[in-house]
A and B are shown apart, each in its own frame.
Chain A
Amino acid sequence: MATEEPPPEGSKDIHPAQPTTEAFLAEQNSAEFGELRRSYRSFAFPLTVAFVLWYLLYVLLSNYAGGFMGTKVFSNINVAFVFGLAQFLTTFLIAWFYSRHANAQLDPKAEAIKDRMEADA
């Protein structure tokens, strides 16, 4: 044993507590986890559908409504340009909006479940 190599100095992967499959199954069916799942999905899924549709609207208008997109708004800035910038703006806003929801609603719920399961494991 004395000749064994010393352990490597690099950071080791942590080996966190792993609850049993039964514990996971029970948790998955619990009301508390159901509430976290609902809070996440009912926010993220409709928002995803919304921004994909909003983006596709932009692509389809570019394709099939060239006249409208070419309408000048002021001097050389046309509707297509404004629409493109609006996609930037909505991307920033959605990212902020989701993160606010996650910080306020999802993180505390997830943290509570995690702490409880770790204590049980």
Chain B
Amino acid sequence: MSAAYHSHTAVTLAAESTSEHRPLIITLFAVFVAATLGITVWAGRQTRSASDFYAGGRQFTAFQNGLAVSGDYMSAASFLGIAGAIALFGYDGFLYSIGFLVAWLVALLLVAEPLRNSGRYTMGDVLAYRMRQRPVRTAAGVSTIIVSIFYLLAQMAGAGALVTLLLGITSDAGKILIVALVGVLMIVYVTIGGMKGTTWVQMVKAVLLIAGALLMTLMVLWKFDFNVSDLLGTAAEKSGHGSAFLEPGLKYGATGTSKLDFLSLGLALVLGTAGLPHILIRFYTVPTAKAARKSVNWAIGIIGAFYLMTIALGFGAAALIGPENIKAPGNTAAPQLAEYLGGTGTTGGAVMLAVISAVAFATILAVVAGLTLASSSSFAHDIYANVIRKGQATEKEEMKAARWSTVFIGAAAIVLGVFARDMNVAGLVALAFAVAASANLPTILYSLFWKRFTTQGALWSIYGGLASSVILVLFSPVVSGNEKTSMFKGVDFSWFPLENPGLISIPLGFLLGWIGSLLSKEEPDKGKYAELEVKSLTGIGAH
């Protein structure tokens, strides 16, 4: 009761103290939106061919793409979600940072370069290379769209949380309006700017996010005389959990089941990144595989630096604001910390809150644009051009299909975002990672490295990984059965105890791809595998 009372008060206070500064906040948002729309229109003028629309003309440098990859990857989950999870659950929230970073090694060592060498526009290009085109392209398209929609949900939830805090809008109508605004903006970015516009928006956002996080980190450390141990000690004390706040187990250590959930989450995080379609298509924007490798290295440096800063942001929020003043599921911890650092109730506080919130808003918009582009590219290139039109569509028709599917996906994201508005965004994104790790990663790895992999194997691993992960989530406490955190309250049709399905669905995806190939009546296409393998390692014939 008391905790609920406090958190309600805190949010109300934050809203009241900022209501007079509302024009400033809205101005900053508007400046960012105007600037990115300008970039989008400029990029749109240079977007003529399909290669421009899908791959930004393939002429970005490794550093530019590394920055854009970082901008595409560090979503609301990384900024709002992790800071909130650490502020509320201490050390257990930090697992997200570690898993999200280590995962890049899978992309670097196994996926980025072969994908750049052998694909053209989408993840489906590589998955279907050796296989019968129509069934595998369809599966790749379905999987791309489902993963992207899970990921989109998280960004929409983050947008809802921001607006509640900033504009004091607690009414559902207000939140829905903001979710709709984000949806409309993402449709505009992608349909007009294509991959070129999206890439530039992501670069700008990455710089803003790093600058904002660095500013807050320095301000937090300043308060503790740059003594990290003091920061952690104060956070532990304020949390009411003592040293347990700095140890694993506060969120996931309670029961045997929750420990399995932690393991499941850990697996999904580390294996998911290299199967995320919106990340994979970024590697097509550079001219060579070597540039793709360099851009991953830049991304690892930038993302690693950012995740180190989440320690200061999360524990800083716990130490300076106190977990009892942060409303579950914690998405507002980072902006609340910003307000505190600037001086709660003062103009400085309002400015900090506005700036950091604008950064978070930029973060959400850039990621949302990347996700929309990935799903509409896959719909247009994999499903429309190669399945429906059997490869006979012209470049113009394909791009038209991509723009129309952007509108539909944007609309779907708006509707779904309304349901997800009260969930922790890091948790939601972890689901997208689990689906990607279960359906996409096994298929990518088998395609590239296993000569006996067949069309049936590819279909079994994609659909098997996809179905098992989505069904397990559907019947997990994420959707129903938990009055506080479930998507639907007041009903309980859950029977799967874990919140993250990865522990079951990832091994299942790998297993199904293997069994499906062994049981296949059809022989693998040796010639196509020779093409794929030689291309993927040497870059001969790469687009």
- On A, residues with C-beta under 8 Å from B are 8-19, 21-22, 24-25, 27-28, 33, 36-37, 40-41, 44, 47-48, 51-52, 55-56, 58-60, 62-64, 66, 69-70, 74-78, 80-81, 84, 87-88, 91-92, 94-96, 98-99, 102, 106-107, 110-111, 113-114, 117-118
Contacts and interface: CB of A to CB of B under 8 A. Distances in A.
User: Which residue of B57, B228, B229, B267 has the most chain A CB atoms within 10 A of its CB atom?
Assistant: B229
Interface of B, helix, strand, loop or mixed by DSSP = helix
Interface string B248-272: 1100110000010011001100100
Contact of B248 (A63, A98, A114): A63
A18 B118 CA distance: 12
A13 B55 CA distance: 10
A66 B543 contact: no
A96 B259 CA distance: 33
Given A84-B91, A91-B105, A91-B304, 9 more contacts: A27-B530, A41-B449, A47-B109, A48-B109, A62-B95, A87-B102, A88-B98, A91-B104, A95-B108
A13 B50 contact: yes
A55 B104 CA distance: 12
A81 B247 CA distance: 8
A118 to B, nearest CB: 7
Interface string B399-438: 0000000000000000000000000000000000000000
B290 interface: yes
21 contacts: A10-B52, A16-B541, A16-B543, A22-B527, A24-B530, A28-B530, A28-B534, A36-B537, A44-B109, A55-B270, A64-B259, A66-B253, A76-B230, A76-B236, A81-B91, A88-B98, A91-B102, A95-B300, A107-B290, A113-B534, A117-B538
Given A18-B541, A99-B293, A117-B540, A91 B101 contact: yes
A96 B538 CA distance: 21
Given A48-B109, A76-B232, A80-B248, A59 B534 contact: no
User: Which residue of A62, A64, A91 has the most chain B CB atoms within 10 A of its CB atom?
Assistant: A62
Contacts of B296: 95
A98 B108 contact: yes
A22 to B, nearest CB: 8
Given A62-B262, A99-B297, A8 B48 contact: yes
Interface residues of B, number: 73
A40 B289 CA distance: 14
B46 interface: yes
Contacts of B300: 91-92, 95
A16 B51 CA distance: 14
Contacts of A24: 527, 530-531, 534-535
A65 B50 CA distance: 53
Contacts of B499: none
Nearest to B528: A21
Contacts of A102: 113, 290, 293
A79 B538 CA distance: 43
B531 A92 contact: no
A33 B531 CA distance: 12
Nearest to B539: A114
Contact of A33 (B94, B304, B534): B534
B177 to A, nearest CB: 36
User: Which residue of B246, B297, B542 has the most chain A CB atoms within 10 A of its CB atom?
Assistant: B246
Interface in B90-129: 91, 94-95, 97-99, 101-102, 104-106, 108-110, 113, 120
B72 interface: no
Nearest to A81: B246
Nearest to A55: B102
Contact of A19 (B47, B249, B539, B540): B540
A70 B252 CA distance: 15
B232 A77 contact: yes
Given A8-B48, A28-B530, A91-B104, A37 B540 contact: no
Contact of B543 (A14, A44, A95, A98): A14
B301 interface: yes
Contacts of A52: 270
B246 A110 contact: no
A19 B534 CA distance: 11
B262 A63 contact: yes
B541 A76 contact: no
Which 3 interchain pairs have the tightest Cβ spacing? A10-B48, A8-B48, A62-B248
B150 interface: no
A11 B59 contact: yes
B27 interface: no
B526 interface: yes
Interface in B253-310: 253, 259, 262-263, 266-267, 270, 290, 293-294, 296-297, 300-301, 304, 307-308
Given A81-B246, A87-B101, A63 B530 contact: no
B253 A94 contact: no
A74 B120 CA distance: 52
Nearest to A8: B48
Interface in B42-69: 46-52, 57-59
A16 B542 contact: yes
A48 B449 CA distance: 14
